Structure formats: C-alpha cells, structure tokens
Chain A
C-alpha cells in the first residue's frame, strides 16, 4: 500500500472535487468499519481516502420543517441511538442501524456507509426502504435525490455516478398511528450477518392498515422493496389471510444464494415467517403498545 493520500475536508464541495478528480481509485470514508477491513484484506487499494466526518451536514441529525428527519450519511449508530426523538418516531430504522456490529462498531458505523458498501445483507437498508427514505446525493453536476431502494445495484455496487457522494437520508413525517420494525434471522444470537432481514413500516387507522412498505434483505443481489407484500397488507386488519398473502409475496420475491448460513429453501421460507413477525411488531407499536 503505497501512495495513498488521506484528506479530511470541511466542506462538501472540497470533498467532491477531490473525490471526482481522483476517479475510481478514491474511496469515501465515513466510519471506516468496512473500508479499513477491505484495505487490510487487500480487496481495496485506494489512492485517495476522503474522510467526510468533518463535514457538518454529513454528521448531523435534523428534524425537518415538515416533521420528518434528515440524518447525515456519516452519523454513527451510537449517535442516532442517543437522539432524544429519532428512535421514538422510527424505532424500526433505529433497531436496524443498531444491529450493525458491536458496541465498538456502533461508535463509528453509519447508515450511509452501510448503504454504499452495497451488501445485500446490510441491516439498515431494508428498514430505510420500508421507511420510504429519500437519499440526497451530491456530485460534480450538483445535487439530486433518489429513493433509497434505487441505490443498490448489486453486491458491492451502487447507482451513484462517478464523483457522487451520499450526503443524507430524509425520512418523511409520520401520520398518527404509524410505526415500523426490523427483524433479521441469524444463526447466532448476536453479531452476525443477516440470513434474511425484513423491515416493515405501516400506518393503522381504526385497526385497518392504511399504508405499508416492506423492505427485504439478504435474499437477492440487492435489498428489495416488496410492493406486492405491502399491497397485501394495505386495507386489511392484518388478519391471517392478509399476513399469509404478504408472507407469500416476500417468499416469491426471493432470489437468494445458498451459503454456509442458509440454503435457498431456508431463506425463502424464513422471508415469509419474518414478514409476519415484523409486521406484528410494527402494528403493536403503531397501536401504541410500544
């Protein structure tokens, strides 16, 4: 590893010009919990590391004027957990972010890094998709926004353009009776990579589900938005028939791999089981039962 350059700019404009000028040899570093492991193993040999943690916009959590949240891409999980209101409004997103790694990793790892790392099993991604988060990207040609589900392009790949940096996630305001949840299946009790991960966000009115979004992870080359599962939930009282239909939609969306943590058949079945459990937790929270 020679001729690496490390920069820690204070503004996004500086970061983008350095990042864009360095081309494909450059890497953005937020918490570094994936990047440094990849450098150590020799999988990545960056010519330039752009540390974005001195850029205020990327490390702050704001409540938007409309009543939503804007979370900087480099906000560590531990900082998000300490926010007085975020976890009350988005308990599912918070629990998903906080499942990434150990206490030590939580001190550094961010949802932005988790998304840009491009792992199909990234824990925060299904929950962000369920939440309907919009990401703000900035590159040499200016700013643009994108639904979070459009960011992953395949294992380790994203749809960010060359020179573009993920700046923040914007989560929408929550109508009354809304909540969310995230569950993942792992062979161990803690600290493992998801075999299946499901995020559900929904709104209940008089016991009827009026809106729903479902994110499904670790069962396809990218994390998926499963619209058919959401459609099965909307308009129902989350009765068995609706939950079974949504579970089947999740299983049908799976295009998983066989590996040492789970077979194709196992992942496909568990996707449906987890959908039901996750929807039940989200519904209980939405009804005010925490």
Chain B
C-alpha cells in the first residue's frame, strides 16, 4: 500500500511528510521530520515523554496517528526556545537542576508550558495534578514542581503572558 502524504504545520512552519497509515505522530516526528526532541518512553500514553501540542491542546504524540496531523497545528519542544534564547521554563529547569537523565524533560517542558498558558498562577497541587501524566524516574518530581512554580512567579512578575517563536 502506498504511503499517505500529510500536510501540516509544525512550530509555525508548513511541513509535509509521508507516513504509513499506522504510524503514530511520534514516529513521524522522530522519523521523516527529524524532530527527535519528543521521546518515546512507554508508547502507550502513560509516561508523557512524547507530549506535544495539537491545536493548542496537550496530547501524547504516541497516541495520535500521524495521518491525523493533516491540516492541524502541531507544536513540539523544538519550537519552545526562540533561537538561542531559552523559554523561561527551560532556563529555570537548568538553574534549579529540574532534570537528571533528560528523557522526561521535553515532555515536562511542553506540558508545563501548556499549564502556564491556561493557568498563569497554578498552586502546587494544580502543578502536580497537571503533570501526573509525565513520569520522571530520576528527580522525585520536587525540583520539577518547584521550577514550574518559580517560572510562573517570574513570568507574572515580568508580565510575560506567552513566549513563542
């Protein structure tokens, strides 16, 4: 069977790729699109390492067929920094050592960004619930949660509503 041709938008840029009907969006990102920032942890929607934004909604790219991207807007970890200028969440994760091995980090960042866009003033409990679908086996989550809360406070103080390419 011939491959499907998909036209979509990735990180604000038009993109096209070929895929098999059963390929996931994560397969397409990491394969033909060469965007390997999204990670495959469990491939069953449990770990959140493949988190992306689909039309401004947080989803697991392993639970989405790549063919579904046709005509939609996809944002990945690769679109988070502005060139060399890191997103405040990325900067804070580095400063507060909110990562160790790094496998969960892109998913954590994408999910945290989605939270702060929806709720610029989350409580610790809200951060923990929102990130319940992002598993980290290194940090024990505490540094991640603190980094998200501190970023939220900084962004409010600096009047940053949205940070995007």
A201 and B140 alpha carbons, distance in the complex (Å): 39
Closest CB-CB distance, B38 to chain A, in whole Å? 12
Chain B residues bordering chain A, tally (CB within 8 A): 33
Contact B132 A8 (CB under 8 A): no
A6 contacts partner chain B, Cβ-Cβ < 8 Å = yes
Contact A107 B58 (CB under 8 A): yes
Contact B133 A104 (CB under 8 A): yes
Q: Can you spell out 18 A-B residue pairs with CB atoms less than 8 angstroms apart?
A: A4-B1, A6-B4, A8-B70, A36-B45, A36-B64, A37-B45, A101-B133, A103-B130, A103-B131, A103-B133, A104-B48, A104-B51, A104-B60, A105-B60, A105-B133, A107-B58, A108-B59, A108-B63
Contact B21 A105 (CB under 8 A): no
> Which residues from chain A contact B58 at a C-beta distance below 8 Å?
103-104, 107
**Chain A residues packing against B (C-beta within 8 Å):** 1-6, 8, 29, 31-33, 36-37, 39-41, 49, 51, 53, 76, 78, 101-105, 107-108, 190-191
Query: Apart from A29-B65, A101-B133, A103-B114, what are 18 other A-B pairs with CB-CB below 8 Å?
Result: A1-B22, A4-B20, A4-B21, A6-B4, A36-B64, A41-B44, A49-B65, A76-B57, A102-B45, A102-B134, A103-B130, A104-B51, A104-B58, A104-B59, A104-B60, A107-B54, A107-B58, A107-B59
B43 contacts partner chain A, Cβ-Cβ < 8 Å = yes
Most chain A beta carbons < 10 A, residue from B45, B129, B131: B45
Closest CB-CB distance, A113 to chain B, in whole Å? 11
Partner of A107, one of B57, B132, B134: B57
Closest CB-CB distance, B89 to chain A, in whole Å? 16
> Which residues from chain B contact A102 at a C-beta distance below 8 Å?
45-46, 48, 132-134
> Which residues from chain B contact A104 at a C-beta distance below 8 Å?
45, 48, 51, 58-60, 63, 111, 133
Contact B133 A36 (CB under 8 A): no
* Chain B 10-48 interface 0/1 with A at a Cβ cutoff of 8 Å (1 = within): 000000000011101000000000000000000111101
> Which residues from chain B contact A107 at a C-beta distance below 8 Å?
54, 57-59
Contact A78 B21 (CB under 8 A): no
Closest CB-CB distance, A47 to chain B, in whole Å? 10
Contact A105 B63 (CB under 8 A): yes
A37 and B129 alpha carbons, distance in the complex (Å): 23
A31 and B54 alpha carbons, distance in the complex (Å): 12
* Chain B 104-117 interface 0/1 with A at a Cβ cutoff of 8 Å (1 = within): 00000001001100
Most chain B beta carbons < 10 A, residue from A1, A4, A49, A107: A107
B62 contacts partner chain A, Cβ-Cβ < 8 Å = yes
A41 and B63 alpha carbons, distance in the complex (Å): 13
A5 and B2 alpha carbons, distance in the complex (Å): 10
Task: Say whether chain B's binding surface is mostly helix, strand, loop, or mixed.
Answer: mixed
B67 contacts partner chain A, Cβ-Cβ < 8 Å = yes
Most chain A beta carbons < 10 A, residue from B4, B20, B60: B60
**Chain B residues packing against A (C-beta within 8 Å):** 1, 4, 20-22, 24, 43-46, 48, 51, 54, 57-60, 62-65, 67-68, 70, 111, 114-115, 129-134
A4 and B4 alpha carbons, distance in the complex (Å): 11
> Which residues from chain A contact B46 at a C-beta distance below 8 Å?
102
Contact B57 A49 (CB under 8 A): no
Partner of A5, one of B21, B51, B59: B21
Given A6-B4, A40-B44, A78-B57, residue A51 in contact with residue B132 (CB < 8 A)? no
A53 and B130 alpha carbons, distance in the complex (Å): 25
Partner of B45, one of A3, A4, A105: A105
Contact A8 B63 (CB under 8 A): no
Contact B132 A190 (CB under 8 A): yes
Contact B57 A5 (CB under 8 A): no
Measured CB to CB, the nearest residue on chain B to A38 is B44
Most chain B beta carbons < 10 A, residue from A2, A4, A39, A104: A104
A33 and B46 alpha carbons, distance in the complex (Å): 10
Across chains A and B, which 6 residue pairs bring their CB atoms closest together, nearest first? Answer: A102-B133, A6-B21, A107-B57, A107-B59, A104-B60, A4-B21
